[in-house]
């Protein structure tokens, strides 16, 4: 993949908003299948971004496509204000009937992850009658005005958009390998200080956290940290909101990453992988919390779109029938082992390989110049591998489809190593 962009691409690039970050490669993507994307020019790209953790079953999984096509011919759209479509009622039954953690049996749909977080914030404020929220360093929760104020993965997202929504307080997220002060105990201590010094429990509605930092650098929260947050929330009567928009739907080897820490939040946000590419998101909470949201405070024209819900139902079928989580365990272990071997061959370039399941980060050494990870992404694309970088530290993120094959994992790692050697050696 390389050479000058085609004319149509160049035209679109000129006319699409400048606020969009520039894409990894200058091609027109015509179609996708499994772990591969194909370009109009006839090129082929191994997609280790899965559309930013969305197409967890690979591009155009036939079961999902067939279900969406069936639904397209029956009912494309109806608003939940009019009536509930068949897929909405069926998906709700499936989600509360064993997919979601026990107790989280009140669901609100939306189209994007950011809206799920917006709804979580609104539900938490309505239920507690309290205004403030605590978020964690490195967290990413969206780009709408409220979620931008919750996002702490890098300053670029909020550039020229200050002041942001008030009432948001920031606590440290454990990252001991970066700094000794960022261990679990130190972070939980800082959190208690924050509740004493900045936002009292009686003013704090919720803590919002990603179980694995996504955009902020692929840092899994130690299970004891998440358990510590659960205990602090219980002690102070604050709601715990888990943002599993990126870590959910099998990405870390369990359906939700919360299973690694064996905790249940008060509110859970899900999106991305839930519908394998159709825009669908949801927030789930307990009955006693949901009951305190006045009718009319949640909504949205496209909430619970029937085609999105049909795709979500098919996605759940594929998880069950094709034993997707078994593949995550096997391919995740393979990916880690192969990346560890790359790190051992390039110790001067790679600082750490970390992650859970098929959510794996490779952090470059602190000596790498600012922007090195982004440059490496571009070099990977040139080699035929789509790989995103992540915020704050120079870090690459490996998020192939969960259906990736053993050969594709090895091919991805081989292309990554080629790009790595070419860019930085």
Binding residues vs ligand PMP (CB under 6 A): 52, 112-114, 117, 140-142, 210, 214-215, 243, 245-246, 271
Nearer of residues 210 and 266 to ligand PMP, judged by Cβ = 210
Q: Which residues contact 5 (CB under 8 A, 6 or more apart)?
A: 13, 26, 27
Least distance to ligand PMP from the beta carbon of 281, Å? 6
Nearer of residues 142 and 277 to ligand PMP, judged by Cβ = 142
Least distance to ligand PMP from the beta carbon of 147, Å? 7
Nearer of residues 1 and 24 to ligand PMP, judged by Cβ = 24
Least distance to ligand PMP from the beta carbon of 414, Å? 27
Nearer of residues 206 and 415 to ligand PMP, judged by Cβ = 206
Least distance to ligand PMP from the beta carbon of 229, Å? 16
Nearer of residues 229 and 271 to ligand PMP, judged by Cβ = 271
Nearer of residues 368 and 388 to ligand PMP, judged by Cβ = 388
Contact 320, 313 (CB under 8 A): no
Q: Which residue is nearest to ligand PMP (CB)?
A: 113
Least distance to ligand PMP from the beta carbon of 198, Å? 24
Nearer of residues 1 and 206 to ligand PMP, judged by Cβ = 206
Count other Cβ atoms within 10 Å, centred on residue 293: 19
Nearer of residues 61 and 397 to ligand PMP, judged by Cβ = 397
Least distance to ligand PMP from the beta carbon of 372, Å? 22
Provide the β-strand partners of residue 243: 269
Least distance to ligand PMP from the beta carbon of 397, Å? 11
- Print the SS3 string covering the chain: CCCCCCHHHHHHHHHCCCCCCCCCCCCCEEEEEECEEEECCCCEEEECCHHHHCCCCCECCHHHHHHHHHHHCCCCCCCCCCCCCHHHHHHHHHHHHHHCCCCCCEEEEECCHHHHHHHHHHHHHHHHCCCEEEEECCCCCCCCHHHHHHCCCCHHHHCCCCCCCCCEEEECCCCCCCCHHHCHHHHHHHHHHHHHHCCCHHHEEEEEECCEECCCCCEECCHHHHHHHHHHHHHHCCEEEEECCCCCCCCCCCCCCHHHHCCCCCEEEECHHHHECECCEEEEECHHHHCCCCCCCCCCCCCCCHHHHHHHHHHHHHHHHCCHHHHHHHHHHHHHHHHHHHHHHCCCCEEEEEEECCEEEEEECCCCCCCHHHHHHHHHHHHCEECEEECCCCEEEECCCCCCCHHHHHHHHHHHHHHHHHHHC
Q: Is the peptide bond before 163 cis (omega within 30 degrees of 0)?
A: yes
Least distance to ligand PMP from the beta carbon of 61, Å? 20
Nearer of residues 107 and 342 to ligand PMP, judged by Cβ = 107
Nearer of residues 117 and 396 to ligand PMP, judged by Cβ = 117
Least distance to ligand PMP from the beta carbon of 185, Å? 25
Q: How many CA atoms lie within 13 A of 155 on its CB side?
A: 4
Least distance to ligand PMP from the beta carbon of 206, Å? 15
């Amino acid at each position: 993949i390389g050479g000058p962009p085609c004319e149509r691409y160049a035209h679109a690039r000129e006319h699409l908003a400048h606020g969009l970050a520039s894409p990894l490669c200058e091609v027109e993507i015509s179609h996708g299948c499994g772990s591969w994307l194909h370009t109009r020019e006839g090129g082929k790209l191994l997609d280790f971004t899965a559309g930013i953790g969305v197409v967890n079953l690979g591009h155009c999984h036939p079961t999902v496509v067939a279900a969406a096509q069936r639904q397209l011919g029956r009912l494309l759209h109806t608003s939940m204000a009019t009536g509930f479509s068949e897929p909405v009622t069926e998906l709700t039954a499936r989600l509360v009937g064993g997919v979601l953690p026990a107790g989280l049996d009140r669901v609100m749909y939306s189209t994007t992850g950011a809206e799920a977080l917006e709804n979580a914030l609104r539900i938490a404020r309505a239920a507690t009658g309290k205004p403030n929220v605590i978020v964690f360093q490195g967290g990413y929760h969206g780009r709408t005005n409220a979620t931008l104020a919750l996002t702490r993965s890098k300053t670029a997202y909020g550039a020229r958009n200050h002041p942001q929504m008030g009432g948001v307080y920031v606590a440290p997220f454990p990252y001991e390998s970066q700094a000794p002060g960022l261990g679990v105990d130190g972070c939980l201590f800082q959190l208690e200080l924050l509740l004493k010094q900045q936002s009292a429990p009686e003013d704090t509605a919720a803590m919002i956290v990603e179980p694995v930092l996504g955009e902020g650098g692929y840092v899994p929260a130690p299970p004891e940290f998440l358990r510590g947050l659960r205990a602090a929330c219980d002690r102070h009567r604050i709601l715990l909101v888990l943002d599993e928009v990126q870590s959910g739907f099998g990405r870390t080897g369990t359906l939700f990453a919360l299973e690694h820490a064996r905790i249940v939040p008060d509110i859970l946000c899900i999106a991305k992988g839930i519908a394998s590419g159709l825009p669908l998101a949801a927030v789930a909470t307990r009955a006693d919390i949901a009951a305190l949201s006045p009718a009319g405070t949640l909504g949205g024209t496209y909430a619970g779109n029937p085609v999105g819900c049909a795709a979500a139902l098919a996605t759940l079928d594929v998880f069950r029938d094709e034993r997707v989580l078994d593949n995550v365990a096997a391919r995740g272990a393979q990916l880690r082992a192969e990346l560890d071997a790359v790190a051992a061959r390039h110790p001067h370039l790679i600082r750490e390989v970390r992650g859970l399941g098929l959510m794996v980060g490779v952090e470059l050494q602190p000596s790498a110049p600012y922007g090195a990870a982004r440059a490496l992404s571009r070099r990977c694309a040139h080699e035929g591998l789509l790989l995103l970088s992540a915020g704050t530290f120079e870090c690459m993120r490996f998020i192939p489809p969960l259906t990736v094959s053993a050969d594709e994992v090895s091919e991805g790692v081989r292309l990554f190593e080629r790009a790595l050697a070419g860019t930085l050696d």
